Amino acid sequence: MEKVTKFDWLVVGAGLSGAVFAHEMTKRGKTCLVIDKRTHVGGNCYCEQYDGVMMHKYGAHIFHTSDKQVWDYVKKHLKINRLGSYAPMAMAGGEVFALPFNMNTFSKIWPDVRFPEEAKKRIEEQSKGVKDLETLEGAAISQVGKDVFEKLIKGYTEKQWGRSCAELPAEIIGRIPVKFDYNNNYFNSDLYIGVPEGGYNDLFKGLLEGCEVVLGCDYLRNRTSLDGLAKRVFYTGPIDALFGEALGKLDYRSLEFDTKIRDLEQSQGCAVMNYCDKDVPYTRIIEHNRFAPSRRHEEIVVSLEYSKPYEGDAEPYYPVRTEESKERYEKYVQLSNTVYGDRVVFGGRLGHFRYFDMDEVIRDTLGIVEGLDNE
Ligand code: FAD
C-alpha cells in the first residue's frame, strides 16, 4: 500500500456486510477504506457474465425477506423484481420431487397420502421413538418422517456437510421449510422474493459509492501497513484467521463450482435442482438463464455445485456450528475483547460464525451501525 491516508474505518471484506457498513458510515460523514482479498466486490453475491449469461458466481442467490425496510433498502440500489415464487426441485433415485417438503413431495413418496392430516399421521408414525432431537437426523425424521429423510435428506446433507446426519446439529435442518399444502414456493412465508435479472453487482456499486476500495488485498498479509491507516476496523473475514487460529480452527465447509454450457434441449426445467443421491458427486445444478427469464439465449449456462472440505486454499462458505465450534467461537470473541477492545468490530457470516441469509446480513449490519451511533 503506497497511499497513506487516515480513515475512520478500515472495512475488511467488500461483501454484503462490509458494503452496507461502509455505506452507512459514509452517510454519517465517516471515511472508509474497504479492502477485499478477492479481485471483485460483492463477496459471495458477486455475479459475472458467462457466455452472455449473468451468473451467480458463488451459487444461486435468491433474495427473500419479510422485512419491508430491508427490501426497500436493497431496491434503492438494485433493480430487483418481486418474484411470485421460487421452486427448486430434488432428484433422487432417478425421480424428481418438489422442494421444500410439501404435500406434492409427501403424496409422491407415499401415493396413498393425499391430504395434510394423512401426511401428518404418516410422519408421526414414522418418527415414533426418535429421541435425539438435537441431531439433524433426529430432528429431520421428526419433521418429515423416515422415508423422506432417507430419500431426500440423508444423502444430500451428508455430501453437503461431509459428515453423518447423526453427528450434525439439528440447527441445519431448522432452516428447511416443511409445509402441509400443495405449494412449491420455497419461501412462501416471506413477503418479498426476488432475483435481479442483471445480477447483484449494482447493489455493491451503489453501496460503495464514496468509499475508497482496494481489491486483491488480504488484510492478514498486509496488517502492518493497513492497521495504521484507520482508527477502527470492521472485519467480515473468518474470526479464527484473525488470530492465526491460536485457539484452534473453526469448522467450515467449502464449495467448488464447475460452470459449463449446455444446449437448450438439455434444460433441467428449473433454476435449481438438488441431487440427493450420495453417489452423484455434485449437490446442485444451477441453470443461470432462469434468473433472467425475459432474455433469450441460444444456450444454457449451468454450474454444478460440489461440496468440499475446508482445507488448503479453500474458501470458507458455510460455518459448521457444532457445539464444540460454537464454544470455540465464543472464546475468540472473548479474546478479541481482551486484545482489541472496541477497536475491531465483527460483521457478516464469517465474523459472527453463523449462517446468515442476505436479508439477515443487512439487518444485522444496520443493527451494528445503530449500536455504534449510540456509543
Ligand atoms: P461474504 O459475502 O463472504 O463477504 C466477505 C468478504 O470478505 C469476501 O469477499 C472475502 O473475500 C472477504 N475477506 C475475507 N477475509 C479477508 C481478508 N483477510 N482480507 C480481505 N478480505 C477478506 N443468501 C440468501 O439470502 N439467499 C440465497 O439464496 C443464498 N444462497 C447462498 C448460496 C451459497 C452457495 C452461499 C455460500 C451463500 C448463500 N447465501 C444466500 C448467503 C449469502 O451469500 C450471504 O448472506 C452474504 O453473502 C454474506 O455476506 P458477508 O458480507 O457476510 O460475507
Q: What is the pLDDT of residues 294-346, one digit of tens each?
A: 777 889 999 999 999 999 889 999 999 988 999 999 999 999 999 999 999 99
Please report the sign of the dihedral spanned by the C-alpha atoms of residue 139, residue 143, residue 149, residue 154. Answer: negative
The proportion of the chain whose per-residue pLDDT surpasses 70, expressed as a percent, equals 98
Contact call for residues 261 and 299 (beta carbons, < 8 A): yes
- 159-167 mean pLDDT: 93
Residue 316 half-sphere exposure toward CB, CA atoms < 13 A? 21
Contact call for residues 232 and 33 (beta carbons, < 8 A): no
- CA dist 298 → 2, 259, 264, 356 (Å): 47, 16, 7, 35
- 181-206 mean pLDDT: 93
Distance 228 CA to ligand 1 centre (A): 26
* pLDDT, tens only, 60-107: 999 999 999 999 999 999 999 888 788 999 999 999 999 989 999 999
Contact call for residues 150 and 71 (beta carbons, < 8 A): no
Distance 167 CA to ligand 1 centre (A): 25
- CA dist 48 → 67, 78, 258, 293 (Å): 28, 16, 14, 17
Around ligand 1, the residues with Cβ closer than 6 Å are: 12-18, 35-38, 43-45, 58-63, 218-220, 236-237, 255, 317, 348-350, 356-359, 361
32 — phi, psi (to 5°)?
-130, 135
Residue 72 half-sphere exposure toward CB, CA atoms < 13 A? 3
How many CB atoms are closer than 10 A to CB 234? 27
At residue 5 the predicted structure's pLDDT band, cuts being 50, 70 and 90, is low
Distance 18 CA to ligand 1 centre (A): 10
- For the chain, helix (H) and strand (E) counts, in that order, are 12, 16
Res 298: pLDDT: 84
Task: Report the nearest atom of ligand 1 relative to the CA of 38.
Answer: 11
The proportion of the chain whose per-residue pLDDT surpasses 90, expressed as a percent, equals 86
At residue 230 the predicted structure's pLDDT band, cuts being 50, 70 and 90, is very high
d(CA 43, CA 228): 25
Contact call for residues 213 and 34 (beta carbons, < 8 A): yes
Burial of 362 (0-12, 13-18, 19+ CB in 10 A): buried
At residue 1 the predicted structure's pLDDT band, cuts being 50, 70 and 90, is very low
